[in-house]
Structure 1
Amino acid sequence: MLSQLKLSHLAAGAIAVLVGYTSSVAIIFQAIEAVGATQAQANSWLVALGLGMGLTSLGLSLWFRMPVLTAWSTPGAALLAVGLKDVPLDQAVGAFVFCAVLLTLTGLSGWFERLAKLIPDSLANALLAGILFQFGLSAFAALNQDTALVAAMGVTFLAGRLWFTRFTILGVLLVGGIWAGLSGSFGDLGQLNTSLTLPEPVMPGFSLPVLIGVGLPLYIVTMCSQNMPGVVTLRAAGYTPPVSASLTVTGIASLLLAPFGGFAFNLAAITAAICAGPEADEDPKTRYLASAVAGLLYCLVGLGGATVISLFLIAPKALIATVAGLALLSTIGNSLSQALQDARGREAALITFMTAVSGVSFFGIGAAFWALLFGLLVNHLLNRGTAQNFKASPK
């Protein structure tokens, strides 16, 4: 296995971790603040979340030999930031445990895997392109934030496509990091927190209103806004994802780490696309090594706790946005091409894509769910109408 490890695997894994933390760690801090956790408890959350993502990603990737990457529930964290106000910490942990039990039962029952198989490939690709579109767009929008930095990274990307294809994104990251360092774009290094981070458990307390008002919505948004796109990401990359096994593993991890702040783990979508795409490896059979690297790095970041997180937070936003956008460019293009290839399903695919890009949200459930729902409905109606017209036409 180590003989198959490439520099592109290391680069893809590192970028996935970088994007995973910087894109949503601020929301985690808001959730921690909402529940009134102490600094030690806040650090414990970061340890639990890092180790949970790392161990599950590493285990699933090596076991199934495919780039199965996991993540904390970002929409779940946003929900907690609002829903945990005035909720005691022990009851919040009880809601985490309740959500974890539901996630585990979902994996063991296998119903979600059967549901995922009903999604047409064109809609799966359209949904993935819609989810990733904002990240691609952010790379170009970052030109307004730091024109020189983004331009240097863009030139490196083009040069890489011409002369060092396998290491294009690694080159972009290195040039961006060096440029940002020399231009003083990094934040104040004095903000680095070098304190030792240790896990601190909180015994769960159970309150029916909190279980229904926090635990159940946490489960729903995690399934709809995280696990479904995660399944779609692997399918769009050409893999048959181990859905039930992955949900079971992430559910058990959530259950074990809930007392330490690991509120919910799920299949990743955006970061998984980085490890499952051609930038990670030209050979799909060995791309799992990129997600395994990401899993190992997640563990190290988790153990580093506050020190590593604070380092992520002082990195220039333009640097992160550009690396992520350029790393996902091929995946976005391939997904759009596959989604629109069949003229019969083109309208449904476009509606799925546009709904996902819109960011629309109803009842606390994000655009990914509604994009898939609208796409399936339109696909069914149009295909049904076409079939009826065919039957009614003269012989």
Structure 2
Amino acid sequence: MTTQPAAGGSTAHAVLAGVVCGLVGFTSSFAVVLTGLRAVGASPDQAASGLLVLCVTMGLGCVLFSWRLRMPITMAWSTPGAALLAAATVPAGGFAAAVGAFVVCGLLLALCGLVRPLERLVERIPAPLASAMLAGVLLTLCIAPFRAVVASPAAIAPVMVTWLVLVAVARRWAVLGALGAALVVMAVQGVFGRLDLRAAAPSLVLVTPSWDVTTLVAVAVPLFVVTMTSQNIPGMAVLASFGYRPGIKAPLLYTGGATAVGALGGAHAINLAAISAALAAGPEAHPDRNRRWVAGVACGCTYLAFGPLAGIVTAAARSAPAGLIETIAGLALLGTFAGAAASALGDAASREAGAVTLVVAASGITVAGIGAAFWGLVAGVLVLLALRLHHHRDRP
């Protein structure tokens, strides 16, 4: 009589852990996604459509894989990929060219599941350089809150103060608290009263992709690299750390296929969850690791529930005070930036190559129509090769 309530309570706790995983995954980075899609030319309706498609595809992935494999398999949109887009410019071919790049990125992800040597090739990209490229992309976004608070202190300061206080007392909830403070600021300024809720219902906006070689090199390749190295590979490592080994083939085929198809609706990329995966896969979700799959299903259902809200979220973000959404995005990415920078500069043998990659990626330069993220990786590889040649020549 005493064990049954405990089991039920534990299952309820697993459901709650999954809901929190989905809630944190959505609220902590939806601003990054919207910023990224707008930066590469998406209209408000196209950005809302992309957010809707992302919620549906990653929600279905969580539910299907967790249910079938009986493992807490959680998926997410590519936050590093969205950050990369946010630091880019509108391609010459407009959003249609960006969508073409999203399709190619999805095909590359799926190929990694089909062609094992291609996955190994991605794994051989030096981790410090991949992290440095990500850190360089994130740097410009993480600066945004501090620029915004100088330009508009009345709207931005309450958000940053709330974030700082929660970092001290409840770090996990700092970004959610900052989002709550932003909602209060928006309410005080009458943003919600000006929203047309009837026009905020999300709808699927199909985009015919166009194919531009420059955009494919500038967007598709870096998006693929950061999604694999910063999300899929770490995501598998997180699952393995808790004793789950689902195999990489099926998740890559699903996320790659869903990315390629979802791109037609404006979505950029989905992948295995990395950091947030621990919320569903860890012992906090359930003491019995064989029951934690419930948290994965609950996470997926939470994402699916957010789908119908994509329109109103996009409308509210568009009407927010200047700099407010960028502030939420920047604060949400500070931890990711810190981790990427530490990984990029932590190894003395490759530190200079990492530093070059970081600063070039952060520079915002464009050469031959190709953005800084790609050239940062190229510059870092060249410096790393030079350092290794120097080390080899000095060896007795």
- Length-normalised TM-score, structure 1: 0.70
Say how many residue pairs are matched.
Answer: 365
Answer yes or no: is 1:14 the counterpart of 2:26.
yes
Percent sequence identity is: 29
SS of 1:69's partner is: strand
* Deviation at residue 101 of structure 1 after TM alignment: 5.5
The equivalences for 1:1-395 within 5 A come to: 3-4=13-14, 5-6=16-17, 9=21, 11-27=23-39, 30=41, 47-48=52-53, 50-56=55-61, 65=72, 68-71=75-78, 82-83=92-93, 104-105=110-111, 107-182=113-188, 184=189, 186=191, 189-194=194-199, 199=204, 213-214=211-212, 220-234=217-231, 240=237, 245-254=250-259, 256-257=261-262, 261-262=264-265, 265-267=268-270, 275=276, 296=301, 299-304=304-309, 306-391=311-396
Aligned to 2:288: none
* Deviation at residue 386 of structure 1 after TM alignment: 0.8
Aligned to 1:36: none
CA change 1:303–1:384 in 2 (3 A) is same
SS of 1:128's partner is: helix
SS of 1:324's partner is: helix
Report the Cα distance in structure 2 between the residues aligned to 1:365 and 1:57, rounded to whole angstroms.
34
CA change 1:341–1:99 in 2 (3 A) is closer
Q: Is the 8 A contact 2:22 2:302 kept in 1?
A: no
Report the Cα distance in structure 2 between the residues aligned to 1:154 and 1:375, rounded to whole angstroms.
34
Aligned to 2:8: none
Q: What root-mean-square deviation, in Å, do the aligned CA atoms of Structure 1 and Structure 2 show? A: 4.7
SS of 2:365's partner is: coil
Map Cα deviations across residues 125-156 of structure 1 (whole Å, 9 max, x no partner).
32222222122111111113321332222222
Q: Is the 8 A contact 1:301 1:308 kept in 2?
A: no
Q: Is the 8 A contact 1:43 1:197 kept in 2?
A: yes
Q: Is the 8 A contact 2:148 2:327 kept in 1?
A: yes
Report the Cα distance in structure 2 between the residues aligned to 1:357 and 1:284, rounded to whole angstroms.
38
Map Cα deviations across residues 72-102 of structure 1 (whole Å, 9 max, x no partner).
97688989864269x9xxx999998788656
Q: Is the 8 A contact 1:47 1:197 kept in 2?
A: yes
* Deviation at residue 389 of structure 1 after TM alignment: 0.7
- The one-letter code matched in structure 2 to 1:332 is F
Question: Tell me, which stretches of 5 or more residues in structure 1 are unaligned?
Answer: 34-38, 205-209
CA change 1:290–1:262 in 2 (3 A) is farther
SS of 1:368's partner is: helix
Report the Cα distance in structure 1 between the residues aligned to 2:337 and 2:205, rounded to whole angstroms.
41
- The one-letter code matched in structure 1 to 2:76 is L
Q: Is the 8 A contact 2:20 2:299 kept in 1?
A: no
Report the Cα distance in structure 1 between the residues aligned to 2:206 and 2:120, rounded to whole angstroms.
36
* Deviation at residue 19 of structure 1 after TM alignment: 1.6
* Deviation at residue 160 of structure 1 after TM alignment: 1.7
* Deviation at residue 235 of structure 1 after TM alignment: 7.8
CA change 1:231–1:27 in 2 (3 A) is same
Q: Is the 8 A contact 1:112 1:244 kept in 2?
A: no
Question: Tell me, which stretches of 5 or more residues in structure 2 are unaligned?
Answer: 1-10, 239-246, 286-291
- The one-letter code matched in structure 1 to 2:375 is W
Report the Cα distance in structure 2 between the residues aligned to 1:148 and 1:247, rounded to whole angstroms.
45
Q: Is the 8 A contact 1:172 1:323 kept in 2?
A: yes
Q: Is the 8 A contact 2:163 2:175 kept in 1?
A: yes
Aligned to 2:242: none
- The one-letter code matched in structure 2 to 1:262 is G
Moved more, 140-149 or 54-63: 54-63
* Deviation at residue 110 of structure 1 after TM alignment: 3.4
- The one-letter code matched in structure 1 to 2:77 is T
SS of 1:23's partner is: helix
Q: Is the 8 A contact 2:105 2:223 kept in 1?
A: no
CA change 1:119–1:98 in 2 (3 A) is closer
Q: Is the 8 A contact 1:27 1:81 kept in 2?
A: no
Map Cα deviations across residues 311-334 of structure 1 (whole Å, 9 max, x no partner).
332233433222222222233223
- The one-letter code matched in structure 2 to 1:353 is L
Moved more, 237-246 or 357-366: 237-246
